Amino acid sequence: MLNSVIIMGRLTADPELRTTTNGLSVTSFTVAVDRNYKSGDERQTDFISVVAWRGTADFVTRFFKKGQMIAVQGSLQVRNYEDKNGNKRTAYDVVADNVSFCGSKSESNSFGAPRQESAPAVSYQSADAGSFSVLPDDNTGFPFGADDDEGLPF
């Protein structure tokens, strides 16, 4: 079975971070996704509901805002419920596993900065070359006898 959704579009509003009673971060937002169309046809847009949890929710609410392009990879969740008038309804949401920036560099510069006034700088620390080790090989050029079919799962 496979349940995978990938969408790319623009946020229709600033995502707002909420916390569950158990202390989990969550946000829900809507992504406006243009449909493919032929020249001369009228453009159509789908408005897709997305829910992000934990670190993904924190990331989205910190770095994204209304109008910014976003790519979302996740799974489709279907919920059945009754509205206040007793009518049966179905809701479809994408539960985000991964979100990514997309769009032009100028857009990233204007929207990609954290919404907080002072964000910590990202730093890179190179590894010490002495912390690496050489893998053993069987004089075939392939480590662990990978040149033959023994022990390979395929």
Contact 28, 51 (CB under 8 A): yes
Please check whether residue 153 lies inside any domain of the structure. Answer: no
Please check whether residue 46 lies inside any domain of the structure. Answer: yes
Please check whether residue 149 lies inside any domain of the structure. Answer: no
The domain that holds 60 is classified in CATH as 2.40.50.140
Please check whether residue 142 lies inside any domain of the structure. Answer: no
pLDDT tens per residue across all 154 residues of the chain: 899 999 999 999 999 999 999 999 999 999 999 998 777 888 899 999 999 999 999 999 999 999 999 999 999 999 999 999 999 999 999 999 999 998 765 555 444 444 443 343 332 333 444 545 555 555 555 555 545 555 545 4
Please check whether residue 100 lies inside any domain of the structure. Answer: yes
- Element of type H or E holding 52: strand 45-53
Please check whether residue 150 lies inside any domain of the structure. Answer: no
Please check whether residue 70 lies inside any domain of the structure. Answer: yes
Number of domains composing the chain: 1
